[in-house]
Amino acid sequence: MRAPLLEQLERLLGDVLQAQASVRLRLEVAADQLAQNQLTRARDLLTLVTAVLDQFRHQAALWRGLALDKTAAPCPVALDGSAASAAPVRPANFAGAEAGASRDPEGLSCKIDLARLTLHSPAFRLKRSIPLASTLLPPKATMTDLSTFLVTQKWPAQHPDRLQLYSLPTPNGVKVSILLEETSLPYEAHLVSFETNDQTSPEFLSLNPNNKIPAILDPDGPGGKPLALFESGAILIYLAEKTGQLMPRDAAGRYETIQWLMFQMGGIGPMFGQVGFFHQFAGKDYDDKRPRDRYVAESKRLLGVLERRLLGRSWLMGDDYTIADIATFPWVRALVGFYDAGDLVGIKDYPNVERVLAAFVARPAVERGLAIPKRG
């Protein structure tokens, strides 16, 4: 079924075709005017717009016998919709017939902000707007009642319109509370106590069958529907994309950030955690020190990788503080603090790791996030 917006857009673009001329298309996302949590929906919308404009381009080429500009981007509209700064513009042109091109001094601009999508072509005296509020802001009534989620029976939501966090301030748990504090996204934190084995309760298992914190329930997930998520790495990516923060906007930077996030998830977390077990907790009484030594050696190797990455960089991704740092440094902090393994791994041999750890814990949002949820 066609979305009404698509139909409206096609009609508007049809008007342009009527103008018997080629046009230059430009899309601006007034992302600075979008509330942070509207960016995902705006991006979905832009994908629709792109599809229409792309179709339009091909039709134009077909109907008018226009030659497509080989140097133009394959898609007339480049999307980097995560932009949180003022109006990122990446014009994409296609060349038309000579006459048409000369009638196209200003091109056709298409602007999207929270309120409306506007197509504007001074050359063709065309200005049309489509209100977007209903697309970008689904009415609150469509949000599912959170009381239908079993987890809310054990941990009732005082503010069901806010993101619900189920956690404990451990190295994995604080990743999410730190991100939430950094982004100022409204949320409500619930303590999952290991002392009472809350993580194995049916209510918690209904959210995470893997009985591990952290987990979230977002009443305003994709499409305005609730979204439940577990695995801290997945949660960090989801929230970075939802808020448009703590992740580079360009695709390469985004994947590189995810790469370092995965390096933490698959390497640093599991290995440092085993050092904690064999050095500080139940495993420390084992006479055979070979398991401990194996994890210490692997942790040293991983610290070396981090050290080389951080040489000459403020953060893992350079100048930008990202979810890769939020995932990694709670674990480095636990290694030298809670696990008391700083000397064991020779932390002094990794001055850049120590430098960035100090910068990380000095952040006010980190200081707050490290104590959320408050232990009972």
Please give the residue ranges that form the binding site for ligand GSH (CB under 6 A).
170-173, 194, 199, 211-214, 231-233
**Tokens read off for 376:** 């009972």
Smallest distance from the beta carbon of 320 to ligand GSH, in angstroms? 22
Angle made by CA atoms 144, 145, 150, in degrees to the nearest 5: 110
- Residue 299 beta carbon to ligand GSH: minimum distance, rounded to whole angstroms: 16
Partnered with residue 187 across adjacent β-strands are 163
Report in angstroms how near the CB of residue 281 gets to ligand GSH at its nearest: 13
Structural contact between residues 83 and 29, judged by C-beta atoms closer than 8 angstroms: yes
Classified as helix, coil or strand, 98 is helix
Q: Tokens 């994995």 appear where?
A: 172
Give the nearest distance from C-beta 264 to ligand GSH in angstroms: 9
How far from each other are the two terminal CA atoms of the chain, in whole angstroms?
Answer: 51
d(CA 55, CA 64): 14
User: Where are the extended beta strands (E) located within the chain?
Assistant: 25-29, 108-112, 116-121, 126-131, 163-167, 187-191, 215-218, 227-230
Q: How far is the CB of 175 from ligand GSH (least distance, A)?
A: 7
Minimum Å distance from CB 318 to ligand GSH? 25
Angle between helices 173-183 and 323-336 (to 10 degrees): 130
Indicate the pairing of strand 187-191 with strand 163-167: parallel
The owner of tokens 């232990």 is 375
- The amino acid sitting at 198 is D
- What CA–CA distance (Å, rounded) separates 60 from 55? 8
Cis, peptide link before residue 373, omega less than 30° from 0: yes
For residues 287 and 280, give the distance between their C-alpha atoms in angstroms, rounded to a whole number: 14
Structure tokens at 204: 């918690």
Q: Could you give the 3-state DSSP secondary structure of residue 189? A: strand
Min dist. Cβ of residue 166 to ligand GSH (A): 10
State residue 146 phi and psi, 5-degree precision: -65, -15
Minimal distance, residue 336 CB to ligand GSH, in Å? 17
Tell me whether residue 86 or residue 234 sits nearer to ligand GSH (CB atom): 234
Tokens found for residue 63: 């109907």
Query: Rounded to whole angstroms, how far apart are CA atoms 361 and 40?
Result: 30
Nearest approach, Cβ of 177 to ligand GSH (angstroms)?
Answer: 12
HSE-CB of 139 using CA atoms within 13 angstroms: 2
Please, what is the minimum distance in Å from the beta carbon of residue 77 to ligand GSH? 36
The tokens 């009534």 sit on which residue? 141
